[in-house]
Amino acid sequence: LCPQVSTLVPLQSCQCLAWKPQPIGALGAESQHVVAGYSDGTIRVFSISRTEMELKMHPHAVALTAVAYTTDGEIVLSGGKDGLVAVSSPRTGMTIRILTDHKGSPITVIQCTGKQYYDFGVEGSELWLATSSDRRVSIWASDWLKDKCELLDWLSFPAPAVPEGLSSLPPSLAAFCPWEHGTLVYVGFGMQKEVLFYSLRKKQVVERISLPYFAMSLSLSPAARFLAIGFGERLLRLLRGPAGAEQDYAGHDDAVHLCRFTPSGRRLFTAAYNAILVWETAGS
């Protein structure tokens, strides 16, 4: 996939990409699409089956740092290096809305999850979150067919003074918890090296897990109570959370900057520098 996308856009750097969700009941390669964000502020939608670009949008003036489809695949959410979040339609190519709440700090994560209209007392068809490098997370309830987007919660995590000699901080990462609805998981530079479980209903941190180092990457299994956490110390930790057993793996030769569970949860992909490892997750 990555070589194909790079070949189709040879003069720009691909910064982030996301698969389009598979429609329920849909079969065949025609539904295989990815959206990619580039260093020139453009978004491009590619057909994998035809190996061609189908749409180009330009909602950002700076490089993209995060991109995601909504759960129905009808909207693309993208975040830039300047902290702006764009809401775009891959059907029309138009930018529907620009959100400035994180302005000034690069967006590190955008994630969407389905929800019911009655959840949390707000109207919407799904929840989504945006995380920025200044340790802030915004959670939204949206119904794009009705042009509704309401801020549900705003989190800001404290941190100490940056140590001298540290060239860059660990990333701020957040994700909705698949096995605890209404809960999100956060890791980032803070007062302690830890994983935080935040309840959207209780409006507070309800669980903490200590870590040996600050996390560089995070992924939650959709099929079991597993968290995968990558560290700059070339270590991968698998947690059966929030209070279960932990296991460390040292298969990489560099910082584990990316980890992703497959939709089935049976495999885990991790990346460090120029190496990608595939792990079998027993018991998922």
- Of 103, 79, 180, 99, give the one whose Cα is nearest residue 140: 99
- Of 59, 264, 276, 24, give the one whose Cα is nearest residue 35: 59
- Whether residue 265 contacts residue 226, with contact meaning beta carbons closer than 8 Å, is answered with yes
Please name the helix (run of DSSP H) or strand (run of DSSP E) that holds residue 7, with its range, or none.
helix 2-8
- From first to last of its 284 residues, the chain has per-residue pLDDT tens of 444 455 556 667 889 999 998 765 555 444 588 999 999 999 999 988 888 899 999 999 999 999 999 999 999 999 999 999 999 999 999 999 999 999 999 999 999 998 876 678 777 889 999 999 999 999 999 998 888 999 999 999 999 988 777 778 999 999 999 999 899 999 999 999 999 999 999 999 999 999 999 999 999 999 889 999 999 999 999 998 766 789 999 989 999 999 999 888 899 999 998 889 999 887 65
Give the pLDDT confidence score for residue 1 in this predicted structure.
42
What one-letter code names the amino acid at 167?
S
SS3 119: helix
Whole-number Å distance between alpha carbons of 277 and 255? 13
Cβ burial, residue 265 (10 Å; 0-12/13-18/19+): middle
Give the pLDDT confidence score for residue 245 in this predicted structure.
86
SS3 69: strand
- Whether residue 35 contacts residue 76, with contact meaning beta carbons closer than 8 Å, is answered with yes
- Of 276, 173, 267, 279, give the one whose Cα is nearest residue 223: 267
- Whether residue 245 contacts residue 228, with contact meaning beta carbons closer than 8 Å, is answered with no
Please name the helix (run of DSSP H) or strand (run of DSSP E) that holds residue 55, with its range, or none.
strand 52-57
- Whether residue 151 contacts residue 138, with contact meaning beta carbons closer than 8 Å, is answered with yes
Place of tokens 């040879």: 10
**N residues, the chain:** 284
Residue 117 corresponds to which tokens in the numbers above?
């209209």
Contacts of 166 (CB under 8 A, 6+ apart): none
Give the pLDDT confidence score for residue 25 in this predicted structure.
57
SS3 25: coil
SS3 122: coil
Whole-number Å distance between alpha carbons of 147 and 97? 9
Whole-number Å distance between alpha carbons of 109 and 4? 24
- Whether residue 239 contacts residue 229, with contact meaning beta carbons closer than 8 Å, is answered with yes
Residue 227 corresponds to which tokens in the numbers above?
């968290």
CA distances from 205 to 81, 184, 284 (A): 28, 9, 26
Give the pLDDT confidence score for residue 29 in this predicted structure.
43
